[in-house]
Amino acid sequence: MTTKLRGGLLVLLWCWSGPAGAFCQAAAPGSAATLEEINRVLAGAKTVFTHFVQERHLSLFHEPLQSEGYLCFEQPRRIRWEVTEPYRSILISDGSGVAQFEWVGDQWKKLDLGLAAAMQSVVSQIAEVMRGQYGRESRQYNVALANTDGGPVVTLVPRNEKVRKMIQAIEVRLAPDLAVTRQVVIREKDGDFTEIRFDGQFVGLRLPEGTFDRRAPLALEQIRQATGKGGR
């Protein structure tokens, strides 16, 4: 697999992060959302702190592979994806590089992450998406918007045929008022799909120093205390 293709895949798989991107300004109720409006609202989200539940549905298994944790995002391109159950793991980008930490033997272990440069390149693109720059990402995928009773659904379909063989589409489901992202579904081949549900989203909080520190990230508990959002 080429680096370009791998990067494309990463972008696609990470697009759910964009969403997480909840929004700081709600849209007018009752009106059909447009991509431009979504982009505008997304761009206003300076920070996002949200709990998530992720389920990977594999066609040959009855039960999904489930995990949960917290996502932190800060403009322009700082991202922290922390899994808390059933294991503990942190992936951080501070905008200039990425780092991965795993909880092993009762302590955090920083990994010598493979594909780090590609990951950083990808995270930069993700940040663009989180800022509502769907249009600029059009080289990567086709974007479609459907307004449903449950709220708008943005569907991203990879343009690259090789990528599309692995990822058929990404669906981002937003609340009707665009205030929060409710769900992201990544549809893969062979009937596999990953569903990410967001709850307890907070937009515009001041995230403490160290939240995105690639050398020694602040503990999640301290972030919760600093933001006053100790529970879900």
Partner 1 sequence: MKPPAGARRRFSKPRVIRVLGLVAALCAACLGSGCDQGRAPAYAIRRDDGRNPEAMAAAQGALARLYPPRYRATQRAIITVGRRQFVCDGVLAVSPQAGEHLAVVSTLGLVTEVQVATNGQTRLLRASPLLKETWSRDFVARDLRELFAPCAEGEPGGWLADGRLVLESRPRPDGSAARWVFTPSGQRLQEIEVVRGQRRLYLARIRQYRQFAGFPRGIPAEFDVRAPAYRLELRTAALTVLSGDAPGIAGAAPP
Look-up of token digits 């092993």? 104
Cβ 86 to partner 1, closest distance in Å? 4
Cβ 10 to partner 1, closest distance in Å? 7
Cβ 188 to partner 1, closest distance in Å? 5
Q: Is residue 6 near partner 1 by the rule CB under 8 A?
A: yes
Do residues 153 and 32 make contact, with C-beta atoms less than 8 angstroms apart? Answer: no
Q: Is residue 59 near partner 1 by the rule CB under 8 A?
A: yes
Q: Is residue 58 near partner 1 by the rule CB under 8 A?
A: yes
Q: Is residue 167 near partner 1 by the rule CB under 8 A?
A: yes
Q: Is residue 65 near partner 1 by the rule CB under 8 A?
A: yes
**DSSP H or E segment with residue 168:** strand 167-174
Residue 143 CB contacts under 8 Å (≥ 6 apart), including other chains = 35, 134, 135, 137, 154, 155, 156
Among 50, 43, 126, residue whose Cα is nearest residue 82: 50
Tokens found for residue 17: 């992060």
Question: Among residues 32, 87, 142, 206, which is the contact residue for partner 1, using CB under 8 A?
Answer: 87
Do residues 79 and 126 make contact, with C-beta atoms less than 8 angstroms apart? Answer: yes
Q: Is residue 90 near partner 1 by the rule CB under 8 A?
A: no
Buried b / exposed e over 164-188, threshold 16 CB at 10 Å, is: bebbebbbbbbbbbbbbbbbbbbbb
Q: Judged by CB under 8 A, which stretch of 103-111, 130-138, 150-158, 177-185 contacts partner 1?
A: 103-111
Question: Among residues 26, 32, 111, 144, which is the contact residue for partner 1, using CB under 8 A?
Answer: 111
Full DSSP string of 22-60: --SSPPPTTSPP-HHHHHHHHHT--EEEEEEEEEEE-TT
Question: Which positions from 124 to 153 touch partner 1 by CB under 8 A, shown as an x/- string?
Answer: ------------------------------
3-state secondary structure at position 141: strand
Which of residues 100 and 181 has its CB atom nearest to partner 1 in the complex? 100
Residues that bind partner 1 (CB under 8 A): 1, 6, 9-10, 13-14, 56, 58-63, 65-67, 86-87, 89, 100, 102, 104-105, 109, 111-115, 162, 166-167, 186, 188, 190, 192, 194
